[in-house]
Structure 1
Amino acid sequence: MRPVDRNDVGPPEERATGVGPHCIDVAYQRFGDPAAPPVLMIMGLAAQMVNWPDSLCHELAGRGLHVIRFDNRDSGRSTHLTGAPPANLPAALAGDLSSASYTLSDMAADAIGLLDALGIASAHLVGASMGGEIAQTVAIEHPGRVRSLTSIMATTGQAGVGQPDPAVLPVLFGGPPATTRDEVIAQALRAARVVGSTGFAIDEAELAARAGRAFDRGYDLHGITRQAVAQVASGDRTARLRALDLPTLVIHGLADRMRDPSGGRATAAAIAGAELWLVDGLGHDLPPGLRPELARRIAAHVERAEARRVQ
């Protein structure tokens, strides 16, 4: 068992060692009854499992689900690939992918390895942003392990959809990188003001506390760059998404300036039978005012998928 953060209101963290084909260590946390339907929560770029709000995890567990959230490789308390060659994001964006240490396929294999370590044969996947794209990859490459897919504020990898608003990039990525705890918190607040929701209140105190908590758990600027290059190197999933046959819920905010809503629309269009929920005023975040309805919709989606399994 791993020590719990002082400001964590959830159960203790645990650690699975030697996970997956790459034998990495994965920090994870579970909410709810282990006998309930398992829901694996996959977070996105530069985010840790604590970016899934505790309140949302408790809400899902209260709706009869076994919630598992975890740190992706190169984030939080999971393995950081500190010996990997430097990742070159500008080169990757220009088409040179030689600095990629891994791809989303490797991160998908980590998720499957965690399920193996927990003795879970199959799970419902819920992914946000890059985590949604990892979840899509798990569904594509390990279809027998996936009961349903919920893809939140994600895209297909197709170049023409789901792109950030160019106006936000200088604000998010311009200037010297944040390195201290205070700088990381300030950067998180700036990002929320630029790409966060316009139709839901933003709790800046909660955001600051979460950013500080993440910094304390393991902030890794080089790991963030490696994840970004992995995302670029993974290419377009559209054709492979068309082959999926599983219950799918796609959620996207109409005010998302980090992942244009065209990414969610393209995801839903590619997966036969996918349900698309476009949310007015939702940006690239999970604001408190959305969480009860988000939990209700995810739980209902899981319930329908569970019913389909026993037919």
Structure 2
Amino acid sequence: MSGGGVSDDRRGVSDAPARAERIVEVGRGMALCCETFGAPEHDPLLLISGLGQQLLAWPAELCEQLAARDLHVIRFDNRDVGRSTRANVRPPTPLRFATRRFERGQYTLADMAQDTAGLLDALELGAVHVAGRSMGGMIGQTLAARQPHRVRSLTSIMSTTGARRIGRPAPSTWRLMLGRPSAERDVSIERSVVLWRHIGSHGFPFDEPAVRALAGEAWDRGHDPAGVARQLAAIVKSGDRTAEVRAIAAPTLVVHGDRDRMVHPTGGAATAAAIRGARHETIAGMGHDLPRGAWPRLVDLIAGQVARGGGATVQAAADASGGSAVGGAATEGAATDGATTDGAATDAVSAAPAR
């Protein structure tokens, strides 16, 4: 597993943390920005964000609602976004994506899962409940499969297994992904509004002012299209992870919206089918965001899954597979989180968290 190089170049990254954000060292030269909600003595719930999305992808008010359910909530910036460390690897070109021949040092989802484990170590947390959205669901799946002792329960939201023919973006979504990322804040925000209006929840009201405000905040915290490209390469390089996902023994809930134009609902169905005993919940009208109107159900689902996870760690995965967690690199495939390296969608995904 290659962790990739790291860079001290933090241009475009705000040095002034909002609220109670903190930067913690997680090993291998990486530092992640995180923020917590709720009492530390409550059950820990780790929220993992998607491709190009910062910790803002889990809105503070939603985190507070989860914390009100007696949970200690942690949200964070993955590597290469927000206020976390940038990898010292050249962003992949379209040709490298087409050939799947990436730069030496290009990291994978397994490396991002290891970052997550390092964050837990830094926060002195052993086993936690995990909820991940989109790419965050993939990272959560990888952590649950490879380090089962760290995951008490898993909630995989709007995610997929990486298999080629499932979970693919709609053709109309691909058409929005052409063009180069903008270097202008206002243009990037406009593109974010266009994309999130398209891939968002058509069964719920579209809150354009909230999308604009969060897109601007994300830009100010650390806009970096190159980092988004490297994250996408991590997904592609990780390939079809179905075999690994089958090793997950943590109590698992799969949540998907029936109007998702970024990761087709077949991605959620395949994830649930791969994990023994997984529950599969569909939210009518939800797309590839977390609309405020769906928060009550999402809070109930996540809190309920935490309760099902109980207090025991999941060493059962190791026991069931003969004593060890899954390891090694996943086979290569054409998995994507619904964005390209060279387009308006890279702009929009990196600048606009979920509303």
TM-score normalised to structure 1 length = 0.93
1:201-254 deviation line (CA, Å, top 9, x unaligned): 121111111010000000001011010111100011111211221110100011
Q: Aligned equivalents of 1:179 and 1:155: distance in 2?
A: 31
Deviation at 1:169, TM superposition (A): 1.3
* Residue 266 (structure 1) aligned to one of 266, 270, 276: 270
Deviation at 1:50, TM superposition (A): 0.8
> What percentage of residue pairs aligned between the two structures are identical?
47
SS in structure 1 of the partner of residue 153 of structure 2: strand
Alignment of 1:141-180 (within 5 A): 141-171=146-176, 173-180=177-184
Alignment of 1:96-135 (within 5 A): 96-98=101-103, 101-135=106-140
Query: Could you tell me whether the CA contact under 8 Å between 2:46 and 2:131 is conserved in 1?
Result: yes
Structure 2 gap ranges (5+): 1-14, 315-355
Deviation at 1:297, TM superposition (A): 1.0
Alignment of 1:184-263 (within 5 A): 184-263=188-267
Q: Aligned equivalents of 2:313 and 2:23: distance in 1?
A: 30
2:174 partner letter? L
1:46-91 deviation line (CA, Å, top 9, x unaligned): 100011111110000001000000000000000012x312322442
Q: Aligned equivalents of 2:205 and 2:61: distance in 1?
A: 16
Instruction: Identify the residue that residue 13 of structure 1 maps to in structure 2.
Output: 21
Structure 1 gap ranges (5+): 6-10
Are residues 302 and 243 of structure 1, via their aligned partners in 2, closer, same or farther at CA, if it must alter by over 3 Å?
same
Are residues 47 and 170 of structure 1, via their aligned partners in 2, closer, same or farther at CA, if it must alter by over 3 Å?
same
Q: Aligned equivalents of 1:108 and 1:69: distance in 2?
A: 14
Instruction: Identify the residue that residue 137 of structure 1 maps to in structure 2.
Output: 142
Deviation at 1:96, TM superposition (A): 2.7
Deviation at 1:92, TM superposition (A): 2.2
Q: Aligned equivalents of 1:265 and 1:195: distance in 2?
A: 19
Deviation at 1:126, TM superposition (A): 0.6
Query: Could you tell me whether the CA contact under 8 Å between 1:56 and 1:292 is conserved in 2?
Result: no
Deviation at 1:130, TM superposition (A): 0.5
Q: Is residue 46 of structure 1 aligned with residue 52 of structure 2?
A: yes
Q: Aligned equivalents of 2:99 and 2:170: distance in 1?
A: 18
2:308 partner letter? R
Q: Aligned equivalents of 1:283 and 1:34: distance in 2?
A: 32
Q: Aligned equivalents of 1:84 and 1:168: distance in 2?
A: 28
Q: Aligned equivalents of 2:45 and 2:212: distance in 1?
A: 27
Deviation at 1:177, TM superposition (A): 1.4
Deviation at 1:275, TM superposition (A): 0.6
Q: Aligned equivalents of 1:280 and 1:35: distance in 2?
A: 35
SS in structure 2 of the partner of residue 175 of structure 1: coil
Instruction: Identify the residue that residue 59 of structure 1 maps to in structure 2.
Output: 65
Deviation at 1:309, TM superposition (A): 6.1
Q: Aligned equivalents of 1:51 and 1:209: distance in 2?
A: 12
Query: Could you tell me whether the CA contact under 8 Å between 2:127 and 2:313 is conserved in 1?
Result: no
Question: Relative contact order, CA 8 A, sep 6+: which one is greater?
Answer: 2
TM-score normalised to structure 2 length = 0.81
Q: Aligned equivalents of 2:192 and 2:104: distance in 1?
A: 27
SS in structure 1 of the partner of residue 183 of structure 2: coil
SS in structure 1 of the partner of residue 84 of structure 2: coil
* Residue 304 (structure 2) aligned to one of 281, 300, 307: 300
Deviant stretches of 4+, over 2 Å = 2-5, 88-100, 307-310
Tell me whether 57-66 or 183-192 shows the greater mean CA deviation: 183-192
